[in-house]
């Protein structure tokens, strides 16, 4: 019995080895598994960042032009001071501010005539710097409001410490037990967590999927298209060994694709952290959240997701009549697989006894639970077991549909075209 | 070492035609060092018969035994005894012939330590030295057929089944293949060879069976068939046998 298992494993390894060699010589596999993640992603992300930095530089050399309506200028000294102090804003004199705003000579006009009840900030929505101006002015408004409040309190002889109630300090739930580093800034916490979630769920599921498509197509559909299935069938090996061997190759190539993607993402992250100081701080905060155990759990989730996605594509490819049909079907599956991570990101979706039984969604929610430090052992075990079980069923079905299409079940093509009375082809 | 087909029958269902017998109770045998030819026009049932023997198709009735292994009860053992060559079997395009032979040799459980020598031997035998390390996608039809044959015999099977192996081949490559079939006979292999080319069958086969509309109409050596039909050329013998049974070969 033991030698039988060894023999079988040996057969699986031989098939997987052949598939790896065959797949690695396929241009589709090479492009989508290696070259796209290794070249396209870093190039496009770095280009985007360079573009953003260029825009940033442009903003510094070409500040946002702000004009004040002369009527009411003296009513908003804190606001005027805040705008004048800002590097990216430049106060300009204008006899006809609204007219200049309409002509694009200005980005913003401030009307303080009704202060202190209200300050009107007029923007030009047609300007390509509309959003930038809106954010800058909102920040300055907030800053000026604080200064004005402090001044008003001082003038009224009140204690200005009261303003500190607006200095909000937040910590994550994990910090209560003292297990985590304190996350002092709410924005950074939210940003870093979201960034990791998006990176893991969206991007990772996408790359797993893209990485699995062409190896699966090359391994299964080519057996039909190139008419090698009968010779494979003639081999004195278990049918399941052939399919498991093919599936193993798809898994290995998908994992490789994932690793190449992570390496590529790593390069991009290094580049960004070198360029952007705030990102370095954000990443440092994000990384502090993860213990070694969490990282290992994330890798387990990645491995399980890879197995499942590879099984889905293996079944799809084994069931397709041709490479083209499988290619079309893979697009639909791609949409399904990448939508679930997005659903899981919505508030309220958590890993529980029910969601643990939904394939893919459970893996995404497990990752979410790991990141937010709310993972329950029972749910994780349920989700893992369910994923392994579904993978096993899909691989079994791949075997059934792959070999089930043997000519024994249908009329061979030469017989279909034959006249029964004459035997003519 | 032998092959016995015993009342092999294969029934298919076609929505337009209903059920029909593609192969109707065919029996024949082939022993060690013998070449048995299955002759018949396209669609006669040759390929279906050979596919049942090679376990690719399950017989509806009857059975076949390869070295006493039953194709229905012991398909894996049967596959170990067989090498199957067909005109329409493909190759892994991005692998080289050597890689394909290694793959099939290893999965067919040919001793690993002897496999390299066996591949070298077959390479010389089939004159494949020039392209054994080129990818199959670059090979011509003749070269591909040689690789197909090499793949079928890499594990040194005692029984070789060839389904119209010379289809689409040029004269020179057909010659190499003919020499190979005769070599197989010399070293004691049992060879079943299907063809619709009568001259080829005349040249190679020790015994032959004429198959038409799924039925084996006549079987024997060329001399026996000549005696029975009173004709000399195999083509004439074939036509007379078919006419005798009231079949139409047009």
pLDDT in tens, B10-56: 988 877 778 888 898 999 999 999 999 998 888 888 889 999 999 88
Structure tokens at A338: 């990448």
Measured CA angle at B225 (ends B224, B228), to 5 deg: 85
Over 60: is that where the pLDDT of A108 sits?
yes
Within chain A, which residue ranges are assigned CATH 3.40.190? 59-166
Name the least confident of A79-83, A86-90, B205-209.
Answer: A86-90
Is A227's Cβ below 8 Å from some Cβ in B? yes
Give the mean model confidence (pLDDT) for residues B78-105. 90
Average pLDDT along chain A: 79
pLDDT recorded at residue B27? 92
Over 70: is that where the pLDDT of B176 sits?
yes
Q: Please report residues of A whose CB lies closer than 8 A to that of B43.
A: 414-415, 417-419, 423-425
Over 60: is that where the pLDDT of A190 sits?
no
Over 90: is that where the pLDDT of B121 sits?
yes
pLDDT recorded at residue A174? 46
Q: Which of B79, B92, B162 to mutate to test the interface with A (most CBs of A within 10 A)?
A: B92
Q: Residues A151-172: pLDDT tens digits? A: 888 888 887 776 655 544 444 4
* Total Cβ atoms within 10 A of residue A24: 17
Is B103's Cβ below 8 Å from some Cβ in A? yes
* Partner-chain contact A235 B90, CB within 8 Å: no
Is B194's Cβ below 8 Å from some Cβ in A? no
* Total Cβ atoms within 10 A of residue B38: 31
Q: Residues A35-56: pLDDT tens digits? A: 887 887 778 777 877 777 676 6
pLDDT recorded at residue A182? 42
Beta bridge partners of residue B84, listed in sequence order: B161
Name the least confident of A175-189, A401-415, B173-187.
Answer: A175-189
Structure tokens at B142: 């003749």
Is B67's Cβ below 8 Å from some Cβ in A? no
* Partner-chain contact B43 A415, CB within 8 Å: yes
Over 70: is that where the pLDDT of A179 sits?
no
**Domains of chain B, with CATH numbers?**
2-244 (3.40.50.300)
The pTM of this model reads 0.74
Is A15's Cβ below 8 Å from some Cβ in B? yes
Q: Residues A346-398: pLDDT tens digits? A: 777 888 888 888 888 888 888 878 877 778 888 899 999 999 999 999 999 99
CA A107, CA A280: separation in Å to the nearest integer? Answer: 32
Residue A60 — very low, low, confident or very high, per pLDDT cuts 50/70/90?
Answer: low
**Minimal Cβ distance to B79: which of A236, A415, A423:** A236
* Partner-chain contact B79 A235, CB within 8 Å: yes
pLDDT recorded at residue A171? 44
Residue A178 — very low, low, confident or very high, per pLDDT cuts 50/70/90?
Answer: very low
Q: For domain A59-166, give the fold.
A: D-Maltodextrin-Binding Protein; domain 2 (3.40.190)
């Amino acid at each position: 019995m033991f030698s039988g298992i060894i023999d079988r494993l040996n057969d699986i390894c031989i098939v997987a080895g052949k598939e790896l060699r065959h797949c690695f010589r396929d241009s589709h596999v090479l492009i989508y598994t290696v070259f796209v993640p290794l070249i396209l992603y870093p190039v496009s992300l770095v280009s985007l960042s360079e573009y953003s930095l260029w825009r940033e530089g442009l903003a510094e050399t070409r500040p946002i032009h702000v004009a004040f309506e002369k009527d009411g200028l003296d009513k908003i000294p804190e606001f005027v001071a805040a705008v004048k102090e800002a590097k990216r804003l430049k106060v300009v004199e204008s006899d006809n501010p609204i007219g200049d705003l309409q002509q694009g000579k200005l980005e913003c006009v401030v009307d303080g005539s009704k202060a202190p009840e209200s300050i009107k900030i007029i923007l030009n929505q047609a300007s390509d710097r509309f959003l930038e101006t809106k954010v800058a002015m909102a920040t300055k408004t907030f800053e000026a409001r604080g200064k004005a409040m402090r001044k008003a309190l001082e003038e009224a002889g009140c204690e200005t410490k009261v303003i500190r109630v607006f200095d909000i300090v937040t910590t994550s739930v994990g910090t209560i037990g003292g297990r985590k580093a304190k996350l002092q800034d709410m924005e950074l916490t939210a940003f870093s967590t979201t960034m990791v979630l998006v990176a893991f769920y969206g991007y990772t599921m996408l790359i797993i999927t893209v990485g699995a498509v062409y190896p699966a197509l090359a391994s299964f559909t080519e057996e039909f298209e190139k008419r090698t299935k009968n010779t494979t069938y003639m081999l004195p090996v278990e049918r399941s060994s052939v399919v498991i061997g093919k599936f193993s190759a798809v898994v290995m190539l998908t994992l490789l694709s994932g690793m190449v993607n992570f390496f590529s993402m790593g390069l991009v992250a290094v580049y960004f952290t070198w360029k952007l100081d705030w990102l370095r701080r954000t990443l440092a905060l994000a990384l502090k959240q993860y213990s070694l155990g969490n990282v290992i759990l994330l890798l387990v989730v990645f491995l399980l997701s890879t197995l499942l996605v590879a099984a889905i594509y293996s079944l799809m490819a084994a069931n397709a009549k041709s490479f083209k049909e499988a290619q079309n079907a893979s697009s639909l599956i791609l949409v399904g697989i990448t939508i679930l991570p997005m659903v899981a990101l919505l508030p309220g979706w958590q890993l529980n006894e029910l969601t643990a039984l939904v394939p893919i969604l459970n893996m995404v929610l497990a990752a979410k639970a790991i990141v937010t430090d709310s993972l329950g052992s029972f749910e994780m075990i349920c989700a893992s077991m369910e994923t392994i079980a579904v993978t096993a069923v899909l691989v079994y079905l791949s075997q059934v549909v792959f070999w089930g299409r043997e000519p024994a079940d249908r009329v061979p093509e030469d017989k279909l075209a034959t006249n029964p009375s004459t035997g003519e082809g | 070492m032998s092959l016995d087909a015993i009342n092999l029958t294969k029934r298919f269902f076609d929505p337009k035609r209903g059920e029909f017998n593609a192969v109707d109770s065919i029996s024949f045998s082939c022993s060690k060092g013998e070449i048995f030819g299955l002759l018949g026009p396209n669609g006669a049932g040759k390929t279906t018969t050979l596919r049942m023997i090679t376990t690719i198709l399950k017989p509806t009735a009857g059975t076949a035994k390869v070295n006493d292994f039953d194709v229905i009860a012991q398909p894996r053992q049967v596959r170990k005894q067989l090498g199957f060559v067909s005109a329409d079997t493909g190759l892994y395009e991005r692998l080289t012939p050597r890689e394909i032979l290694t793959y099939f040799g290893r999965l067919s459980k040919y001793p690993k330590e002897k496999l390299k020598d066996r591949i070298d031997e077959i390479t010389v035998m089939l004159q494949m030295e020039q392209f054994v390390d080129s990818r199959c996608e670059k090979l011509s039809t003749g070269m591909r057929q040689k690789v197909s044959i090499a793949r079928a015999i890499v594990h040194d099977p005692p029984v070789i089944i060839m389904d119209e192996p010379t289809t689409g081949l040029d004269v020179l490559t057909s010659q190499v293949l003919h020499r190979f079939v005769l070599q197989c006979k010399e070293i004691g292999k049992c060879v079943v060879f299907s063809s619709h080319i009568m001259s080829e069958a005349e040249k190679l086969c020790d015994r032959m069976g004429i198959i038409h509309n799924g039925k084996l109409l006549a079987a024997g050596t060329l001399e026996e068939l000549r005696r029975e039909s009173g004709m000399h050329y195999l083509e004439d013998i074939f036509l007379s046998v078919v006419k005798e049974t009231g079949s139409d070969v047009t």
